[in-house]
């Protein structure tokens, strides 16, 4: 770690590199970190297309937001190529190692052992991010991976100034980081929390990224990096094998789609619940004219739609390669009409009358998102994660790679709640080689006039945030407004509306209570939405980055 005076140069470099913009096409990029946005433009300036830029932004985020995502984690990349209207979801979600089993986090009495699915290498699933980057670059990019990874490698080698968010999240995970000396040596300053604006250099990570750049997937999933990963994971109590790494494959999936009042929605299906929850909630709401309703009724109905969509999440959703998902039903407008018929305008439906139990929700978690669109309409929405801030807190020796704790997104037993208070059943129980159910919701929205690309971190609240943004888009507002919308959330269990300061007024809270809703103000604002917009006719672009975070949105010419 270096001190504040040494980072002025880095900050200057940041604003300088933002001026290096593609001459061919205008492009809008919104990401959670200025250096990641700059990395995207740097690659565009070298002749890359939006998919190369997505590789550069993803890899840069892995370096400059080591608490959010990384080579030790997973991601979804939703792509649209304009010339042939090709759309695909690259599912780079982590997979359970083959030695994983359904009782692995339970004691002899069948109770969940505290923190076992959250801290240390036993909580880490087999990463998908490196394979996703290789695939994205090879199949859809114009530049070689070795070129697109350069900005990330440079950031890891020369370092960057850590911001408030880094320090806040480091503090949140300080205990587990102290427990693993390799992690502490990288992220702490001689065992203490570093000063704001200290320089964080990650030379081991730079080497691992270079291996990936030079050797493709073999640079991570076999050879010396894989050896180091497997050895140190097992030494510290994990259960990875070389075969787990070698056999990891990304999956190209068909995105899920829906239509809400003329707005086309394209988003994630299995192994994420994101798009299904979003579309099901919108289908329920499609039967109302929200624009003619008072704010209170609007919020009540949106909450009831969330409740029903999250309820189905807990009943039916998991990895479609392992279970049968009644997708047609969940996305059907007729099914939504049935759910709508159980909604009263004056009264909440208690979740316990639907099923399940009430548990408390934890707070203060992390992940990241970026959105890119060019003036032709080529676009990428990508949400990337290692789950909790600094994932499992475990860095495999000599790799600089912080491993995820995504195993916690499984249900440790049917009906168990995870770190987000989400409740799930058999559909999302642990099985060897299975992908754990995600909430990540990278999304495209298309109206007659505009195309939007958006998404956010936020655990279980991701889909409800994208839902509120989609409704705001439908109202006629732009990205600046969507990222600002005061947020509220209902996820079926716990049966409570969680809301940010300002999202529900005092009179609304009183009325909601009398309708049977419980509400709880969250301690901190949540989410870090990144959104871009293309006007189809004028080709003008807009970009916005959530003020709750430290991101940067830029439209370049
Ligand atoms: O895949 C998921 O749904 C979670 N692992 C995402 C975690 C997350 O967004 C935390 N962010 N604040």
Q: What is the DSSP string of 35-82?
A: HHHHHHHHHHHTT--HHHHHHHHHHHHHHH-TTT--TTSEEEEEEEET
- Give the ligand 1 atom nearest the CA of 93: 1
Distance CA 57, CA 46 (A): 14
26-59 per-position pLDDT tens digit: 999 999 999 999 999 999 999 999 999 999 999 9
Residue 23: per-residue pLDDT: 45
- Give the ligand 1 atom nearest the CA of 273: 3
User: In the chain, which residues fall in CATH 1.10.246.130?
Assistant: 255-353+444-527
CA of 409 to the centre of ligand 1 (A): 9
The residue contributing the CA closest to ligand 1 atom 5 is 387
- Give the ligand 1 atom nearest the CA of 457: 9
Angle at the Cα of 13 from the Cα atoms of 533 and 170, rounded to 5 degrees: 80
> Per the omega criterion (within 30 degrees of 0), is the bond before 271 cis?
yes
Residue 30, beta-bridge partner list: 371, 553
For 543, the token pair is 């970009």
The residue contributing the CA closest to ligand 1 atom 1 is 438
The residue contributing the CA closest to ligand 1 atom 8 is 459
Taking a C-beta distance cutoff of 8 angstroms, is the pair 299, 512 a contact?
yes
Q: What is the DSSP string of 386-405?
A: -SSTTTTS-B-TTT-PBPP-
Residue 252: per-residue pLDDT: 98
Beta strands in 205-324 (DSSP E): 251-253, 256-260, 263-267
For 440, the token pair is 């990540």
Q: Is the pLDDT of residue 76 over 60?
A: yes
Residue 24: per-residue pLDDT: 62
CATH-assigned architecture of domain 255-353+444-527: Orthogonal Bundle (1.10)
Phi, psi of 150 (to 5 degrees): -55, -45
Q: Is the pLDDT of residue 15 over 90?
A: no
Identify the three-state secondary structure at position 382: strand
Pocket test for ligand 1, best of 440, 455, 460, 461 (most atoms within 8 A of CB): 440
List CB contacts of 351: < 8 A, sequence separation 6 or more: 307, 311, 358, 492, 493, 494, 495
339-387 per-position pLDDT tens digit: 999 999 999 999 988 854 333 333 345 799 999 999 999 999 999 999 9
Q: How many CB atoms lie within 10 A of CB 484?
A: 16
CA of 438 to the centre of ligand 1 (A): 7
Residue 422: per-residue pLDDT: 84
Residue 425: per-residue pLDDT: 77
Q: Is the pLDDT of residue 160 over 80?
A: yes
CA of 347 to the centre of ligand 1 (A): 31
Phi, psi of 54 (to 5 degrees): -65, -40
CA of 325 to the centre of ligand 1 (A): 21
Distance CA 42, CA 18 (A): 8
242-298 per-position pLDDT tens digit: 999 999 999 999 999 999 999 999 999 999 999 999 999 999 999 999 999 999 999
Q: Is the pLDDT of residue 3 over 50?
A: no
Residue 355: per-residue pLDDT: 59
Pocket test for ligand 1, best of 32, 462, 551 (most atoms within 8 A of CB): 462
Pocket test for ligand 1, best of 365, 522, 530 (most atoms within 8 A of CB): 365
CA of 536 to the centre of ligand 1 (A): 32
Pocket test for ligand 1, best of 436, 457, 460, 463 (most atoms within 8 A of CB): 457
Residue 424: per-residue pLDDT: 77
Q: Which position among 266, 268, 303, 367 bears the catalytic label? A: 367
Average pLDDT over every residue of 443-448: 98
Which residues have any ligand 1 atom within 6 Å of their CB?
365-367, 385, 387, 406, 409, 438-440, 457-459, 462
- Give the ligand 1 atom nearest the CA of 462: 9
For helices 150-158 and 50-64, give the axis angle rounded to 10 degrees: 20
Q: How far is CA 540 from CA 79, 89, 379, 537, in A?
A: 20, 26, 14, 8
- Give the ligand 1 atom nearest the CA of 409: 5
Q: Is the pLDDT of residue 12 over 80?
A: no
Residue 14: per-residue pLDDT: 34
Pocket test for ligand 1, best of 420, 436, 500 (most atoms within 8 A of CB): 420
- Give the ligand 1 atom nearest the CA of 456: 9
Q: Is the pLDDT of residue 16 over 70?
A: no
The residue contributing the CA closest to ligand 1 atom 10 is 366
Residue 18: per-residue pLDDT: 35
CA of 440 to the centre of ligand 1 (A): 7
Residue 418: per-residue pLDDT: 83
487-528 per-position pLDDT tens digit: 999 999 999 999 999 999 999 999 999 999 999 999 999 999
CA of 491 to the centre of ligand 1 (A): 14
The residue contributing the CA closest to ligand 1 atom 11 is 366
- Give the ligand 1 atom nearest the CA of 528: 12
The residue contributing the CA closest to ligand 1 atom 2 is 438
Residue with tokens 């716990």: 494
Q: Is the pLDDT of residue 90 over 70?
A: yes
Residue 366: per-residue pLDDT: 74
CA of 72 to the centre of ligand 1 (A): 14
Distance CA 523, CA 363 (A): 8
Q: Largest Cα–Cα distance of the chain, in whole Å?
A: 64
Note if 257 is an active site residue: no
- Give the ligand 1 atom nearest the CA of 408: 5
Taking a C-beta distance cutoff of 8 angstroms, is the pair 94, 126 a contact?
yes
Strands across the sheet with 488-489, in order?
488-489, 497-499, 519-521
Q: What is the pTM of this model?
A: 0.94
For 357, the token pair is 């139990």
Taking a C-beta distance cutoff of 8 angstroms, is the pair 503, 440 a contact?
no
Distance CA 395, CA 401 (A): 5
The residue contributing the CA closest to ligand 1 atom 6 is 459
Phi, psi of 420 (to 5 degrees): -105, 10
CA of 321 to the centre of ligand 1 (A): 21
CA of 462 to the centre of ligand 1 (A): 8
Residue 13: per-residue pLDDT: 32
Per-chain mean pLDDT for the chain: 93
Taking a C-beta distance cutoff of 8 angstroms, is the pair 279, 306 a contact?
no
């Amino acid at each position: 770690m270096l001190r504040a005076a040494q980072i002025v140069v880095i900050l200057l470099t940041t604003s300088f590199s933002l001026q290096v913009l593609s001459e061919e096409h205008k492009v809008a990029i919104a990401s959670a970190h200025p250096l990641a946005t700059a990395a995207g433009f740097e690659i565009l300036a070298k002749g890359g297309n939006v998919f190369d830029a997505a590789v550069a932004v993803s890899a840069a985020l892995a370096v400059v937001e080591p608490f959010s995502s990384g080579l030790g984690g997973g991601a979804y990349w939703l792509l649209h190529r304009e010339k042939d209207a090709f759309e695909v979801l690259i599912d780079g979600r982590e997979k359970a190692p083959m030695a994983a089993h359904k009782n692995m986090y339970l004691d002899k009495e069948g109770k969940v052992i505290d923190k076992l699915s959250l801290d240390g290498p036993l909580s880490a699933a087999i990463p998908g991010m490196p394979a996703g980057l290789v695939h994205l670059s090879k199949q859809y990019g114009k530049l070689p991976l070795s070129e697109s990874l350069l900005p990330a490698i440079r950031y890891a080698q020369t370092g960057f100034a850590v911001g408030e968010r880094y320090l806040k999240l480091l503090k949140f995970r300080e205990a587990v980081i102290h427990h693993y000396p390799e992690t502490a040596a990288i992220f702490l300053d001689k065992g203490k929390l570093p000063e704001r604006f200290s320089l964080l250099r990650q030379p081991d990570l730079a080497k691992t990224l270079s291996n990936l750049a030079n050797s493709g997937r073999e640079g991570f999933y076999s050879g010396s990096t894989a050896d180091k990963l497997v050895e140190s994971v097992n030494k510290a109590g994990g259960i990875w094998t070389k075969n787990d790494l070698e056999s990891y494959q990304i999956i190209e999936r068909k995105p899920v789609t829906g239509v809400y009042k003329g707005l086309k929605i394209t988003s994630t299906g299995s192994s994420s619940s994101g798009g299904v929850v979003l579309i099901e909630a919108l289908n329920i709401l499609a039967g109302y004219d929200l624009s003619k309703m008072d704010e209170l009724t609007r919020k009540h109905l949106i909450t009831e739609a969330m409740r029903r969509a999250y309820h189905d999440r807990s009943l039916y959703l998991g990895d479609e390669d392992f279970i049968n998902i009644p997708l047609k039903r969940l996305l059907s407008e007729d099914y939504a009409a049935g759910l709508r018929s159980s909604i009263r305008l004056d009264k909440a439906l208690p979740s316990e009358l639907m099923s399940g139990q009430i548990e408390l929700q934890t707070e203060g978690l992390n992940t990241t998102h970026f959105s890119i669109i060019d003036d032709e309409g080529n676009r990428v929405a990508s949400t990337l994660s290692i789950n909790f801030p600094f994932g499992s807190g475990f860095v495999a020796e000599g790799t600089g790679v912080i491993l995820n704790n995504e195993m916690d997104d499984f249900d440790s037993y049917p009906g168990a709640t995870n770190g987000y208070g989400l409740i799930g059943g058999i559909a999302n129980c642990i099985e060897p080689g299975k992908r754990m159910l995600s909430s990540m919701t990278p999304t495209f929205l298309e109206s007659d006039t505009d195309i939007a690309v958006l998404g956010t971190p936020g655990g279980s609240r991701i889909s409800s945030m994208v839902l509120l943004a989609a409704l705001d888009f439908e109202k006629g507002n732009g990205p600046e407004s969507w990222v600002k919308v005061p947020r509220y959330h209902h996820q079926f269990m716990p049966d409570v509306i969680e809301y940010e300061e300002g999202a529900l007024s005092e009179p609304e809270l009183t009325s909601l209570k009398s309708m049977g809703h419980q509400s709880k103000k969250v301690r901190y604002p949540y989410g870090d939405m990144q959104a871009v917009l293309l006007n189809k006719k004028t080709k003008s672009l807009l970009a916005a980055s959530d003020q709750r975070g430290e991101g940067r949105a830029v439209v370049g010419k």
